[in-house]
Structure 1
Amino acid sequence: MASILYVCVRPEQGAADAEHESFRRALGAPALDRWDLLDQPLDPSVADRYDGVVVGGSPFNVVAEERSDLQRRVENDLERLAQDAVAEHLAGMFTCYSIGVVTRMLGGTVGTAVPESTRATSIRITAAAADDPLFGASAPEMSVLTAHKEGSIEPPPGAVLLATNDDCPVQAYRVGGRLYATQFHPEVTPQDFVGRMAYYRTTGYFDPHEYDLTAERVLASSPTGTDLLRRFAGLVG
């Protein structure tokens, strides 16, 4: 069985633990190794020891005017993983915050003009994704869960745009055959997402006065992002 590593970049322990479990379940893995980048720098041998990596979200922002030494080190480590995926030493799925790290590394632009609040949203699968092993089977559109303050209006150089919508044009892209990046969260169920909301209630992802309404809307949704991770596990395998 292929080995996949979950790379954590969340400082909130409860949110990190829950995200780890979300990825494990969505990948269909009986167990999923974990590397907390906030606690320890990336081991250079990861690309040799694992067939794939999945990277979770974070309250960090790539466009932050002031980035701590810790954030800079974390982003350098994520870039190294992305470079390994571009070189096809392993397969990589970079989600939410980490799509910004990858986009910047590839020479693209990340900004704050296309945020999305905590919600379910519909994304359109592009014609270029018709034969993609992850996204092709989800055409013409799918429902996903999203919450982000930064994003991109066009994919970075060398990337194939796989999914888009009117609010945030770059929802997912692929580089080569092994690097995937999504603006949305493919790993979560509605229940997972509501549980995560409790950790970020006052951090600007949604109006805290509308917590119950936002949670109700999320719970009423039927996202299909986890299909992508099951296919990713098959790609890695």
Structure 2
Amino acid sequence: MKPFLILQLRPEEEASDDEFRAILDKGGLTEDRAHRVRLEREGLPETDLDSYAGVIVGGGPGCVSDPQDQKSSVEKRIEDAVLSLMPAVTANDVPFLGCCYGIGILAHHLGASVSKERFSEPVSVARAAPTEMGKTDPLLDGIDGPFDAFVGHKEAVQELPPGCAHLVAGDACPFQMIRFGKNVYATQFHPEADGDVFALRIRIYRDKGYFAPQDAERLTAEARLGNPQAGAAILRNFVKRYG
């Protein structure tokens, strides 16, 4: 049985470990079925994508749309590493699920605009819903109506990238989930997240510009009220479909 390649971008040890645990937990994966690579501290290994069941990219504090001269050397290295995979992923329709940062990478690779001009969302639980096309997509199996989406992002896709299907929409951010080809997916929300995951991230990223620091306690309480079932279903469906 092929493992899934899980690429992580978070420089904070606690946040990275918790994200990895959440991906395994929500996706129904065991550690022996995951090849974890922390791109903020190691390079992308020589990668034969055919040796993996699929690729999952986690989130992180970097922004694709930031000017190059404002990105740290680590952020540049991470971005270059993930972007280097995208030609093979899209050309060969490799099973791919990009979470938050991943939608910016996919859209940027496909030539769409990714910016902070519109559609940013504070750390929160937003309402999202499958589009008509999304209702028939296998990754959204069992999700027929609006659901809680755990969000928090400064940049967003500004228009549907060429060749993509629009699967999930939100009120504040219309492009919450897209698909290129048959197997290349990306979400603006965090399908691995729940109230505990967001409580930890709120604590770690409280001074990173996602929200006013004095709002941390309120945001934590609100996150704990969110229902993570739909996001978990998307991760499980991805693992089940390609694993």
> Within 5 Å, which residues of 2 pair with 1:1-12?
1-12=1-12
Q: CA deviation at 1:82?
A: 2.7
Specify which of 219, 225, 238 is matched with residue 220 of structure 1. 225
Aligned partner of 1:129 in structure 2 is 134
Structure 2 counterpart of 1:174, one-letter code: R
Aligned partner of 1:58 in structure 2 is 60
TM-score after normalising by structure 1: 0.94
Matched, 1:68 2:72: yes
Structure 2 counterpart of 1:104, one-letter code: H
Aligned partner of 1:34 in structure 2 is 36
> Equivalent residue of 2:138, what SS?
coil
User: Against the structure 1 CA distance between its residues 229 and 130, is the aligned structure 2 distance closer, same or farther, given a 3 Å change threshold?
Assistant: same
Q: CA deviation at 1:153?
A: 3.0
TM-score after normalising by structure 2: 0.92
Aligned partner of 1:188 in structure 2 is 193
**Distance of 1:167 and 1:95 partners within structure 2:** 18
Structure 2 counterpart of 1:137, one-letter code: G
Q: Which runs of 5+ in 2 are unaligned?
A: none
**Distance of 2:14 and 2:166 partners within structure 1:** 33
Q: Which runs of 5+ in 1 are unaligned?
A: none
Matched, 1:229 2:229: no
**Distance of 1:71 and 1:50 partners within structure 2:** 25
Contact 2:128 2:147 in 1 (8 A): yes
> How big is each residue's C-alpha offset from its partner over 1:28-80, in whole Å with a ceiling of 9 and x where there is no partner?
01213210112222123241331111111111111112223432332222123
Structure 1 counterpart of 2:79, one-letter code: E
Identity %: 31
**Distance of 1:160 and 1:119 partners within structure 2:** 25
Contact 1:2 1:236 in 2 (8 A): no
Q: CA deviation at 1:139?
A: 2.1
Q: CA deviation at 1:168?
A: 0.6
Contact 2:93 2:181 in 1 (8 A): no
Matched length: 237
Contact 2:131 2:167 in 1 (8 A): yes
Aligned partner of 2:202 in structure 1 is 197
Q: CA deviation at 1:4?
A: 0.7
**Distance of 2:113 and 2:168 partners within structure 1:** 17
Matched, 1:86 2:90: yes
**Distance of 1:212 and 1:38 partners within structure 2:** 29
Contact 1:88 1:178 in 2 (8 A): no
> Equivalent residue of 2:6, what SS?
strand
Q: CA deviation at 1:150?
A: 0.4
Name the Cα RMSD after superposition.
1.5
**Distance of 2:39 and 2:30 partners within structure 1:** 23
> Equivalent residue of 1:127, what SS?
coil
> Which stretch of structure 1 is more off in the superposition, 162-171 or 32-41?
32-41
**Distance of 1:58 and 1:203 partners within structure 2:** 11
**Distance of 2:144 and 2:92 partners within structure 1:** 26
Q: CA deviation at 1:133?
A: 0.6
Q: CA deviation at 1:89?
A: 6.0
Structure 2 counterpart of 1:74, one-letter code: I
Aligned partner of 2:156 in structure 1 is 151
> Which stretch of structure 1 is more off in the superposition, 112-121 or 88-97?
88-97
